[in-house]
Amino acid sequence: MVSFPSVRLIGDTQRAYAHRVIDQAPQGYVMKVGAETRRDAQNRKLWPMLQDLQRQVPAMAGSTLEDLKLRFLNALGAEMRFLPTLEGEGMFPVGLRSSTLTVQQFSGLVELLYEFGARHGVRWSEPRQEQAA
């Protein structure tokens, strides 16, 4: 199977390249156009922020970083579903993945963390920058 790159459409050069990629794609391939998902810089910013909250907010000390991330995604309004475990002893969330957030949605998540941290007196371990975008 031939692999084709993702193309970020930021100018005429990239649009022309995207056209060439589509023209070269085999019959039956699928092309998807959508908003850019979160950037690596945004993701790298998320984890230290969650660690700061975990260390400095007593109510969050007992949660894993993944659990904290899911709590904030839920507060952001990300779609959440629950499924029963295989043995039926509980439920688990599905559908919440920060990797599927758009750049704008992820920026909203970071702002939510800043707002929550401000209400709880969190001192961030890295200086605040204008959106890790």
Domain range summary for the chain, segments of one domain joined by +: 1-34, 40-119
Whose structure tokens read 């200086």?
Answer: 127
* Between 32 and 108, the higher pLDDT residue: 108
Query: What pLDDT sits at residue 131?
Result: 46
Among residues of the chain, what percentage have pLDDT more than 90? 34
Rounded to whole angstroms, the Cα distance separating 73 from 57 reads 18
Summarised one tens digit per residue, pLDDT across range 24-74 is 888 988 888 877 777 778 888 899 999 999 999 999 999 999 999 988 988
Query: For residues 132 and 37, what is the distance between their CA atoms, to the nearest angstrom?
Result: 13
User: What value does the mean pLDDT of the chain take?
Assistant: 85
pLDDT on residue 115: 95
Q: What integer is the mean pLDDT of 97-104? A: 82
For 53, counting Cβ atoms within 10 Å of its Cβ (0-12 exposed, 13-18 middle, 19+ buried), the class is buried
**CA 98 – CA 113 distance, rounded (Å):** 14
pLDDT for res 61: 95
Residue 37 dihedral angles phi and psi, to the nearest 5°: -85, 170
Q: Looking at this protein, which amino acid is placed at residue 90?
A: G
pLDDT of residue 132: 46
- The Cα–Cα gap between 16 and 9 comes to 9
Q: What are phi and psi of 21, to 5 degrees?
A: -60, -45
As a whole number of angstroms, the distance between CA 84 and CA 63 comes to 21
Predicted TM-score (pTM) above 0.75: no
Right CATH for 40-119 from 3.40.640.10, 1.10.10.10, 1.10.3790.10, 3.20.20.140:
1.10.3790.10
